[in-house]
A and B are shown apart, each in its own frame.
Chain A
């Protein structure tokens, strides 16, 4: 049982790193990116093929090196960022909102079918596999899981510290200004593309890093493991925790991956309908997204408001009202203000 919980928590930890990366792109920068799961998958593939050694027929894949695990992860992250720099350069140049999402969706499915069908790359449909031991065989199989969980927690903690630091920095403030109104940000001298692009690459790098961790967790990876639609579970996690708030995003990842993805495995499926359990899980996650959007759209821990340092009083009464998504006033016509509005 302990081992089971360790496994679940390890998974939640790894997806926490991924969610922090996706939140940089969506939460901070406002770009609803759908290709991030491909960056995660690429991170997994690269890490595996750089650590398990030469491919033996009929299995085939590129590279087939035997690098130390940590070095392989670093290279995987570099490869993922390089790859994201191409997609980001195309998608972020002039496309925004739904057009950006459509472009990244097209990219991720193109990559998906390429990986699935072009076997010399990552062995196509059957995927790559082969166990490797990041700890170099110094630990027993059982102890390995606990140590690896601790390692993942450490990585998540370090990533969280860096992301939180960046989030509260002048850079994080500027990224959000560009998100809220990029024309106004350009008027005040901000290079909109470059700001979004750098944030995008940071997010992609974290996706690659989480892929590197996941590679050591599973040891085998094929296209069935990474349907691009899986990204919506991560968006659910970000939404639940709090878009734009790193602490909330980590919390949301644990809630969604432990509470929904894993716990729903206990939903009994009748023998005749084995697909019922997984289907119910998807339905529950969909329901979770809808309920969150209805009742608490900024998540459990909403994005932190940059203040002048004095404590902002928050009462329980404002807990719900404060986070309502206000309509964008620019969509309405500007109307004359009553005189009292100015004096307030």
Chain B
């Protein structure tokens, strides 16, 4: 694990009207680590992801990703710097085939130029065909090969989760942010998702996982960031935080109050 920070969040705040969703949140994610972002419901975890990935604009604060200040940038601009995020429910491109979902996931923007699509159609098709072998290997890996030519909308919930991982693996991001990847997932698939996260790390991506499933976080993550009421209350290794009073209070409620 290197010590360079890939994501630096500093004094990040966001309020929706009078509701403060994120309150002076500061954290640093080191490159190459798998970080669990946990906290009770309403702690502001998903809001932080929306702010970091450009879907919401912070009221104040700074976000630096890979050395670039990304506040005010559009989601697609941030993505092109190498950040891919997911949402709480799988978001497949429903009327595209499974293999096309992965093809779009690979994000070869050069190939999608309007002009080249008209003038060099045959060459682009050949390039697509050349990639097919490689993509099928990837889909075999995520158990999607048999259904590669099916419309993505017909997939089961579990297959959609795997398709999402296949898309991310094809995109080769520097940072992957997973928003509750275990939501509605059975134990067997849960194992597979844990494996997929380790594979992402091996492929060179830093991973941030928002999750309520604490055993899963303990098994998968190198480090944990705990949020409550919009700000970070603790950061460190899971076993260190087990005895942290503030963390226990945030999760179980404080008896003294």
A→B interface (CB under 8 Å): 162, 165-166, 168-174, 176-177, 179-181, 183-192, 198, 202, 244, 303, 305-310, 312, 326, 328-330, 333-339, 341-344
Contact = CB atoms under 8 A, between A and B. Distances in A.
24 contacts: A166-B118, A173-B96, A174-B104, A176-B96, A177-B100, A177-B101, A181-B91, A183-B75, A187-B85, A188-B104, A188-B105, A190-B76, A190-B107, A307-B97, A307-B148, A307-B149, A308-B99, A326-B94, A328-B94, A329-B157, A334-B184, A336-B184, A341-B186, A342-B159
Interface of B: 53, 55, 74-76, 79-80, 84-89, 91-97, 99-101, 103-105, 107-109, 111-114, 117-118, 121, 124-125, 128-129, 132, 135-136, 143, 146-149, 151, 153-154, 156-159, 167, 171, 183-189, 192
Nearest to B149: A307
A180 B96 contact: yes
Contacts of B167: 188
B188 A342 contact: yes
Nearest to A192: B76
A337 B97 contact: no
Given A189-B79, A339-B188, A341-B159, A165 B84 contact: no
Contacts of B108: 170
Contact of A306 (B89, B100, B159): B100
A334 B157 contact: yes
Contact of B93 (A170, A184, A307, A342): A184
Contacts of A172: 117
B149 A305 contact: yes
Given A171-B117, A188-B104, A181 B79 contact: no
Contacts of B91: 181, 183-184, 330
User: Which of B85, B96, B189 gathers the greatest number of chain A CB atoms within 10 Å?
Assistant: B96
A303 B153 CA distance: 14
A338 B76 CA distance: 35
B103 A173 contact: yes
A333 B55 CA distance: 22
Instruction: Give the 5 A-B residue pairs with the shortest CB-CB distance, closest first.
Output: A169-B117, A334-B184, A171-B117, A180-B93, A186-B75
Nearest to A304: B97
A186 B74 contact: yes
Nearest to B145: A308
A173 B135 CA distance: 16
B114 A171 contact: yes
A170 B136 contact: no
A85 to B, nearest CB: 15
Contacts of A190: 76, 107, 109
A170 B124 contact: yes
B109 A189 contact: yes
Contacts of B117: 165-166, 169-172
A47 B80 CA distance: 43
Given A170-B128, A174-B112, A342-B159, A187 B84 contact: yes
B250 to A, nearest CB: 25
Contacts of B159: 341-342, 344
Nearest to B115: A171
B185 A337 contact: yes
B149 A342 contact: no
B186 A339 contact: yes
A335 B161 CA distance: 13
B89 to A, nearest CB: 5
Contacts of A244: 95
Contacts of B129: 309
Given A187-B53, A188-B167, A303-B95, A335 B148 contact: no
